Structure formats: C-alpha cells, structure tokens
Amino acid sequence: MRRDHPRSRHYYGWTVVAAAFTLMFTGFGVVYTFAGFFKAFQAEFGAPRADVSLVFSLSAFLYFVLGAPAGMLADRFGPRRISLVGAAALTLGLVGASFAPSLAVLYVTYSIGIGVGVGLTYVPSVGAVQPWFKQRRAFATGIAVAGIGAGNLLVPPMAAWWIEIFGWRGAYLMLAGFSLVLAGAAACFIDNDPERNERRLGEPATGWPPPEPPPGLTLAEALRSRIFWILYGSLFLPTIGVFVPMVHLAPYATDLGHPESAGVLLVSLIGLGSLVGRFCIGGLADRMGRMQSLALMYAGLGASFLVWWQSQSLWALSAMAVAMGLFYGGFVATAPAVVMDIFGGRAVSAIIGWLYTAAGVGTLIGPTLAGYAFDRMGSYEAPILGAALLSFAGAAAVYFLAKSRRWAG
C-alpha cells in the first residue's frame, strides 16, 4: 500500500491501537498474575490475607490515580515519552520485587513499580487512540483495551508455569524481561496526533479520519461540571468490588477444596470473558448507545457477584468468571468513548485520567477490605454481596445520566 493512498490516512490509527493493545497486554498481564503469587507470599512472609491483598491494592490505587497526571503529561509532551518511562518503571518494579526480603519491601518495589509503570502507560495509550477515530471510536477503544483481557487470560498461566520452574522470585525476573521487551517496543509507536502524522507523511491534514474539532472542555471545565462528578461516582462504586475477584477468587476456590491451579485458571477465565467483552461490546455500544451500554455493564457486574455468592462448584465458578470478565471488559471498552462523547477531545487523556482516580480509590478499598473481612469472619460472603449492591448503584447513576440528556454516543 502506498503512503499516498487515501486509506493510508487511517492505517497509522490502527498501529496506535495495536501499540496500545500491547502496552495494556503487558502491564495488566503482570498485574493479574498476582493471584498466582498470593499463596507464595502468605507462606514466605507469614502474612494475613489483608496484608497480602494490600500489595495489589496499593499498585492498583497508584496506577489509577497516576492516570490523571499521566494523561496531562501525555496531552502536553505526547504519550510516547510517558509510556517509555512507564515501561521502564514496570521492569524495575518487577526486578526489585524478585529480591524483596519482606512484605514491606514488596510494597515499595512491586506496589510502587507496577503502579507507576501501568499508570504511565494505561491512560496515555487509551487517550492516544481517541483522536484517530470518530464513528468507530468505541470499537477501536475496545480493541485497544482488549489487551487487558488478553493479558489477564494469557500471562497468569505463563507466570504460574515460571513459578513452578524458577520459584516466585525467578518468575518475577522472567516477567521483568518480558515487560522490557514488549512494553518498551510498543511505547515507541504510540502517537495521539493524526494531523502531525499526516504532515510527517507529506499529506494534507484532511480526509479520514475527520479531524477532531477544536471545541471541547478543558480539564478545569470538566472538573467543574456536575456530569463529571456523576460519572466519577458511578465509576467509584462498582470498582470497589470489581478487583476483589482478581485477588481473592483463587484463594476462595482453594478454600473450597479446588486445586491451586484451578484458582489461577478462574482468574484467567475472567480475562477470557474480558477479552470477548472488549472486542464485542465496543462495537455494540456504538450502535446501541454508549451511555446506556455502560449502565448495562455495571448492572451485569452486579448480577455476576450475586452468581458468585451462590457458586461453589468449579463449573459454576468458571461460568461466573467468564460472565464477570465480559461485563468488566465491556465497561472498560465503553467508558473512554463516553468521556470523549461528553467532553470532546481537547483534554481527553487528562479527563480520563482524573475520572480513573475513582477506580484507584475503589480498588484500594475493595480487595483489602475483602481480605480484612475474611481474616475477621472467615468468609467472603459480606464483601461479595456488598460488591453486588455497589455495582447496581453505579448502574443506576449512569442510567439516570443517560436519560437526563441526549448523547451523541
């Protein structure tokens, strides 16, 4: 295909999608290996589940909270430089974790390294996809964030295999090399400026995709709007529970007498459902309405938690894990496009980043509180039911917002 072919103008947009997919595949693949290390950390450090869960919760809190400054930095300096720094932090965090002599050192190495690494790659790469597409924005975003689901599906079993061969410390060194190669290479291809890319190719900055119009809210204007804070609350409530299964589903399964390998498989099945959701829900949301689809995803998460509450057999837990992943992947695919629909493209990365701080706070609370509840009561029943109720509340908030105004999406 020649560079001056009319279709070449949207080819690099798909390159950006592929690079974003790879960054999220790597970063979140590493994040979701945590379930496979959970029992090893308990045995190595003699720690209660709440303390072990905090290693994950701190990292997730950091990468969601850092999305706000990362988005602002990406809007100012470009996502490529920010993502390269993130890839380096991810690698260094894993190397440091492999030598950790205590749980406290894991908080410094794993939690901070992974949190900073994913925080500096996630929002900049999701934001970079948005300006390249208009009518198919949710579809393109869905493909990009499908990297999270693919990482969730494929990387935990690979890490479990490495744990068997090299031990948990050697497995972290293997994951460090894996992250350096994949994330470092993908970061080199991220770009959020279609017009600059067309000028580089010697083509006029017109044609497909249609350039985003200059109007759009600044970050300050978005933060002053009531709509932003309704969206913020609607994201905060479900994310208190959404990462609980990522940390606790594997130990929940082993508590029921299922093998530890089955617990890791359940986390991977969440990734399978998430992968399907990210690929399929975005395209459906473009046709059904993105705001209404987001409300449906939150409601589906609530229903999945109710199924978990009633599930004990491996087959039932497996079906629940796939369904939960489907709805989780669907809302992650839809939410950035909803932000673009409402606030425009002027500061989309920064706005997405600030919105995702809600998920950071929710994730800091959820898995740690679930571990504390288990340590005190010996059961996950209360956190599972609480997560269901909070997901339904988030769905109600988005549904109200969707009905209060006609949206372009």
Q: What is the pLDDT of residues 324-372, one digit of tens each?
A: 999 988 887 788 888 888 888 777 778 887 888 898 889 889 988 998 8
CA end-to-end span of the chain: 32
In a domain, 4, yes or no: no
In a domain, 408, yes or no: no
Helix, strand, or coil here: 193?
coil
In a domain, 115, yes or no: yes
Instruction: Using alpha carbons, select from 232, 219, 194 the residue that is nearest to residue 12.
Output: 194
Q: What are phi and psi of 216, to 5 degrees?
A: 155, 155
Report the range out of 8-22, 74-88, 274-288 with the highest average pLDDT. Answer: 74-88
Rounded to 5°, angle at Cα 264 from 260 and 269: 140
Q: H-helix or E-strand containing 57? A: helix 49-65
In a domain, 5, yes or no: no
Q: Flag whether pLDDT at 35 surpasses 90.
A: no
Place of tokens 């970050």: 219
In a domain, 322, yes or no: yes
pLDDT at 282: 67
pLDDT at 143: 85
For the ranges 24-38, 80-94, 183-197, the lowest mean pLDDT is seen at 183-197
With cut-offs at 50, 70 and 90, classify the pLDDT of residue 268: confident
With cut-offs at 50, 70 and 90, classify the pLDDT of residue 178: very high
Tokens of 149: 């689901």
Burial class (CB in 10 A: 0-12, 13-18, 19+), 165: exposed
With cut-offs at 50, 70 and 90, classify the pLDDT of residue 405: low
Ranges of H-type helices in 289-380: 290-309, 314-343, 348-355, 357-377
* Percent residues over pLDDT 90 in the chain: 42
Give me the CATH number covering residue 164: 1.20.1250.20
pLDDT at 303: 96
pLDDT greater at residue 119 or residue 287: 119
Place of tokens 């606790």: 248
In a domain, 254, yes or no: yes
pLDDT tens-place string over residues 221-241:
999 999 999 999 999 999 999
Instruction: Using alpha carbons, select from 256, 63, 76 the residue that is nearest to residue 148.
Output: 63
Q: How many domains does the chain have?
A: 1
In a domain, 3, yes or no: no
Q: Which domain holds residue 131?
A: 11-203+213-403
What does the alpha-carbon distance between residue 156 and residue 332 come to, in Å, rounded to a whole number?
A: 20
Sign of the alpha-carbon dihedral angle for 282, 62, 386, 307: positive
Q: Flag whether pLDDT at 41 surpasses 80.
A: yes
In a domain, 62, yes or no: yes
pLDDT at 197: 60
pLDDT at 196: 64
Q: Flag whether pLDDT at 299 surpasses 90.
A: yes
